[in-house]
């Protein structure tokens, strides 16, 4: 196992007037044994960053440290990492056992050691009864577990996961997330996991790196990122539904944006009282809860209510209030968090 240090990493493509900058100076330290999730929208640079750490993309500027080595000039095979891809990348003509053992055979590991490592990985991932099957005989979730098993047998210093769950259905994604958590608890190997899915990020991460436009907007625990977002982008990206970001409602000073999570708002029937008066535009039923969409002037507010509460009628005039102790303030120009005594 090893720590990872990213020191002012820059990635650019092209040259001269055709230069395109993709990563704009990434600095981060991942501690030995940590599980870090890199999350952000498509095109934010998260997969490029992972591929640079893996050695599949060249570093334009900066350094990548794995343990006590700068690995910029090392080939992927020399970096002591194992990568799990989105598309599984299994050999279709090989059995599960042979897929998991292939890298070890290429490395001339002794046959008895290969048997032992594959057996251990198969036990962890509950693949023991599938070792003689071919990939075509497996479900998507089983194929992904084989891909993870192939990484485990390598006994690397670092695991890299490149959106490994995106091809699975919702039920399998949830199940595989639990398996990955269990895997990390058992092995304790430093892991970086790339995803665009904020639910995966929140449930898997010990710390998460939220990226946007080639920069890291926030690096912290899921609780820190959700409860104290550093920017309006983080506030709107992390959360389903996203945080309400209000600029043109009464009580918001010029130059500031007010952020309120939907679960920290309340709908009061009928006009009057303190709060924002608006009209109910839509309702969404989400099982144990409902979302109420309320138009207040030019703003649309989303309020989360319990399914047992009586929802207002569409078109009704209502008052929306917010918890004074759960307000977030941001600079309207920079998008950066502003510390206001009233909400801290």
Domain spans of the chain, in order of start = 4-230, 241-343
pLDDT band, residue 46 (cuts 50/70/90)? very high
Question: Does residue 342 carry a pLDDT above 60?
Answer: no
The backbone torsions φ and ψ at residue 125, rounded to the nearest 5 degrees and listed phi first, read -100, 5
**To the nearest whole number, what is the mean pLDDT of the chain?**
91
| pLDDT 10s digits, 274-295 | 789 999 999 999 888 999 999 9
Q: Are 51 and 109 in contact (CB under 8 A)?
A: no
| pLDDT 10s digits, 139-153 | 888 888 898 899 889
For residues 45-59, average pLDDT? 95
Lowest mean pLDDT among 31-35, 83-87, 90-94, 293-297: 83-87
Tell me whether the CATH fold assigned to 4-230 matches the one assigned to 241-343: no
Residue 259's CB: how many other CB atoms inside 10 A? 24
Tokens of 167: 């091809």
| pLDDT 10s digits, 168-192 | 788 888 888 888 898 899 889 999 9
In this prediction, residue 115 carries a pLDDT of 94
SS3 assignment, position 322: strand
In this prediction, residue 340 carries a pLDDT of 65
* Global confidence as pTM: 0.89
Lowest mean pLDDT among 8-22, 24-38, 158-172, 249-263: 158-172
In this prediction, residue 341 carries a pLDDT of 46
Nearest-angstrom CA–CA distance, 99 and 111: 15
* pLDDT greater at residue 124 or residue 98: 98
In this prediction, residue 43 carries a pLDDT of 92
The second-level CATH assignment, the architecture, of 4-230 is 3-Layer(aba) Sandwich (3.40)
pLDDT band, residue 96 (cuts 50/70/90)? very high
In b/e form, how buried is each residue of 112-128, taking b as 16+ CB within 10 angstroms?
A: eebeebbbebbebbebe
Question: Does residue 116 carry a pLDDT above 80?
Answer: yes
> In sequence order, what are the residues at sequence separation of 6 or more whose Cβ sits closer than 8 angstroms to the Cβ of residue 292?
267, 280, 283, 302, 303, 304, 305, 311, 312
What is the CATH code of the structural domain delimited by 241-343? 2.40.50.140
Question: Does residue 344 carry a pLDDT above 60?
Answer: no
DSSP-based helix, strand, coil % in the chain, nearest 5: 30, 35, 35
SS3 assignment, position 175: helix
**Type and span of the H or E element at 116:** helix 111-125
């Amino acid at each position: 196992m090893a720590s990872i240090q990213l020191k002012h990493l820059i990635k650019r493509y092209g040259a001269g007037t055709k230069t395109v900058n993709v990563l704009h100076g990434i600095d981060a330290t991942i501690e030995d044994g940590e599980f870090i999730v890199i999350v952000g929208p498509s095109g934010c640079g998260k997969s490029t960053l992972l591929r640079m750490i893996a050695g599949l993309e060249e570093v334009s500027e900066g350094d990548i440290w794995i343990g006590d080595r700068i690995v910029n000039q090392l080939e992927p095979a020399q970096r002591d990492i194992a990568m799990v891809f989105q598309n599984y990348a299994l050999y279709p003509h090989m059995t599960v056992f042979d897929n998991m053992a292939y890298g070890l055979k290429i490395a001339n590991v002794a046959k008895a050691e290969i048997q032992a490592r594959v057996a251990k990985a198969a036990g962890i991932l509950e693949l023991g009864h599938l070792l003689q099957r071919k990939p075509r005989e497996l479900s998507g979730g089983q194929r992904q577990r084989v891909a993870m098993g192939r990484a485990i047998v390598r006994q690397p210093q670092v695991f890299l996961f490149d959106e490994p769950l995106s091809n699975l259905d919702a039920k399998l994604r949830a199940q595989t997330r639990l398996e990955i958590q269990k895997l990390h608890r058992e092995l304790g190997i430093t892991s970086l996991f790339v995803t665009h899915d904020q639910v995966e990020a929140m449930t898997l991460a010990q710390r998460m790196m939220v990226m946007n436009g080639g920069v890291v907007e926030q690096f912290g625990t899921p609780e820190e990122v959700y409860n104290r977002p550093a920017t309006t982008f983080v506030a709107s990206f992390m959360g389903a539904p996203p945080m309400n970001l209000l600029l043109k409602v009464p009580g918001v000073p010029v130059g500031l944006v007010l952020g309120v999570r939907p679960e920290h708002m309340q709908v009061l029937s009928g006009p009057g009282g303190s709060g924002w008066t608006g009209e109910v535009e839509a309702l969404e039923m989400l099982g144990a809860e409902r979302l109420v969409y309320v138009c207040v002037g030019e703003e649309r507010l989303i309020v989360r209510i319990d399914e047992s509460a009586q929802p207002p009628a569409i078109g009704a005039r209502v008052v929306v209030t917010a918890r004074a102790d759960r307000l977030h303030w941001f600079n309207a120009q920079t998008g950066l968090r502003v510390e206001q005594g009233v909400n801290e």
